[in-house]
Amino acid sequence: MRTKIVAGNWKMNKTPAEAKALIAAIRAELDGLDCPVEVVVCPPFVALAVAAEALKGSRIGLGAQTMHAAASGAFTGEVSAAMLVETGVKYVILGHSERRTLFGETDAAVNAKTQAALAAGLTPIICVGETLQEREANRTADVVTSQLKGSLAGLGAALERCVIAYEPVWAIGTGRTATPGQAQEVHALIRRVLAELAGGKVANGVRIQYGGSMKPDNAAELMAQPDIDGGLIGGAALKADSFAAIVKAGC
């Protein structure tokens, strides 16, 4: 059985003080909860150190929202895997659709970051997904397959240390959500592609999150699908009660 994983992507929200308060509220909801779901919060870079301190003694893991592939160098505004690790980070989101569309990240760039994250002992959460135009053109399978093969090239068995997040771009922040059937169809496709890349045993062990407007009222039905192993949560992760409700829906 795969352990479900629910990660909150806070995006460019919450100052360090606000992050500390939100984590305290999340802990008030989840500390002591007997639930096998793995929980992660991913604040902005400037709040990571405060978040690491606020999470001490809890079972909630700390994640970052991106990183650079290089170990160091003249990359103004970037952070390395080693910097994240020393701050207390255990997970890192890579290839989020906003990074791909707004900042021009390619599959090759995501692959380089994934290799660096794994080398540093981080757990990468690697995002793939199609736009509305691509879905309406019946290109979902082609787009997702291409992103997976490009972003995961050369990883082999190291894939078992990764988490994949399927995020239909048309359902991020729009209030639109893929139906459980639509989401399951793509998650099953992703697992088939992972099997091509690393074999069935590895593919069966990889967690695949759903990342398109998962909310308390649809989380249980989505996570009940055979290939949906949790959620990458955006807006609903910014409120302790809604984030906790999603975690509890996976218990």
CATH code for the domain in which residue 87 is found: 3.20.20.70
Q: What is the pLDDT of residues 89-139, one digit of tens each?
A: 999 999 999 999 999 999 999 999 999 999 999 999 999 999 988 998 999
Predicted confidence band at 171 (pLDDT cuts at 50, 70, 90)? confident
Q: What is the pLDDT of residues 34-56, one digit of tens each?
A: 999 999 999 999 999 999 999 99
Please report whether residue 127 resides in a domain: yes
167 is catalytic: yes
Please report whether residue 246 resides in a domain: no
Number of domains in the chain: 1
Q: What's residue 194's pLDDT?
A: 97
96 is catalytic: yes
Please report whether residue 250 resides in a domain: no
**φ/ψ (deg, to 5) at 64:** -110, 165
Which of 38, 98, 130, 167 does the annotation list as catalytic? Answer: 167
List the single range of 149-153, 159-163, 168-172 with lowest mean pLDDT: 168-172
- Residue 44 sits in which domain range? 7-65+75-241
Please report whether residue 170 resides in a domain: yes
Residues 250 and 230: beta-carbon distance below 8 Å = yes
What's the whole-model pTM score? 0.96
Please report whether residue 46 resides in a domain: yes
Predicted confidence band at 155 (pLDDT cuts at 50, 70, 90)? very high
**φ/ψ (deg, to 5) at 156:** 60, -135
Token pair in block for residue 123: 């757990």
Q: What is the pLDDT of residues 9-22, one digit of tens each?
A: 999 999 999 999 99
Which of 68, 96, 98, 134 does the annotation list as catalytic? Answer: 96
Please report whether residue 1 resides in a domain: no
Q: What's residue 230's pLDDT?
A: 98
Alpha-carbon distance 136 to 186, whole Å?
15
